[in-house]
Amino acid sequence: MDGMDGGGGPSRRLVWRRGVIAQVGLLTAAAVVAVTAYAVSGDWVPWLWAAGTLVVLVLLGARQRWGPAWTAAAALVVADVIWLSAMPWWAWLLTLVAAVVGVLVWLVRGRRVPATHPSVITMAVVGVAGLVTGMVGAVLHIQARAEQAAQEAAAQRQESVSRILPHSPTAVADYLARTLAENDPTSTCFAFTPEAAATFAAAHGEPDCESAARTLAGRIDNPVDYQNNFWVPGSQQDFDGDTVTVRVCDIDVGSTGPRSLGILIVEPHRGGAGGFEITAWRPCP
């Protein structure tokens, strides 16, 4: 009897050890996939599914029948499936790599196959190649998402600018008169594209648009009367599709300020929210 017990003890310990290795391997693989998928996707909802699955399994007695490692691994697998169902090819490749690693650990640690066996070496090479390829795919995916986010942010900024700009070509001229009367050169130049602003500044002998606007604002004697008297007749506006030429030349503003602000080429702002901007500027003849 002692011999039988002595012979059965090591065998049972070996089976137990292999079972532990398998449990730890599966739990580790499931956890690695979960953490990687969450880091890439940013979606935390599958964690709730994993927690809910874990609670259900515990209530059903899975912890007593399977053990804590298998139970936790099963819950993580549920989350992994949810993440991976919305993930690209490289995520599935990383999952396959995790499976290959788990099999290798099971084979080598369980001494079923020597570590130098050709099949083990082949699986290791395939695993490394898959890992590298999957990581490259993940990096490219993250970069693409960052570029998309930057483009969306830029589009939102352009839309915000378009909302602030005047919403009609005639209103652009009125906007210039108002901001000049208020001596707000930053707002004045906000209506110009960089190219138009540079032309406007050079024509007034100033280094930048704000300086040119400040010079014009300094010539306004009565800001309130200047705004009230400023009016561009329809005869000085030429429409060509979405492009409008507004000739703000020799406007009757009495003696309150500059009568000519130039020939404005006005077009819709690319933000698409209804704003118009000055895309080109020419001096009055």
- The ranges assigned to domains in the chain are 2-159, 165-282
Q: What confidence category does residue 45 fall into, taking pLDDT thresholds of 50, 70 and 90?
A: confident
pLDDT higher than threshold 90 for residue 201: yes
Look up residue 222 and give its two tokens: 């009565």
pLDDT higher than threshold 50 for residue 2: no
| H/E run at residue 89 | helix 89-109
Nearest of 159, 158, 209 to residue 184 by alpha carbon: 209
| H/E run at residue 277 | strand 276-282
pLDDT at 18: 61
pLDDT higher than threshold 50 for residue 1: no
Give 188's contacts (C-beta < 8 A, 6+ positions apart). Answer: 176, 179, 180, 209, 210, 213, 217
| 274 φ/ψ sector (left φ>0, alpha ψ -120 to 50, else beta) | left
Residue 44 CB: number of other CB atoms within 10 A?
A: 8
First to last CA, the chain: 118
Mean pLDDT for the stretch of residues 120-146: 80
pLDDT at 14: 55
pLDDT higher than threshold 80 for residue 91: no
List the single range of 11-15, 143-147, 262-266 with lowest mean pLDDT: 11-15
Tell me the torsion sign for CA atoms 71, 76, 79, 83.
negative
Mean pLDDT for the stretch of residues 30-43: 79
Most confident of 30-39, 81-90, 160-169, 185-194: 185-194
CA–CA separation, 241 vs 189, rounded Å? 24
Q: Nearest 5°: CA angle at 86, between 83 and 90?
A: 85
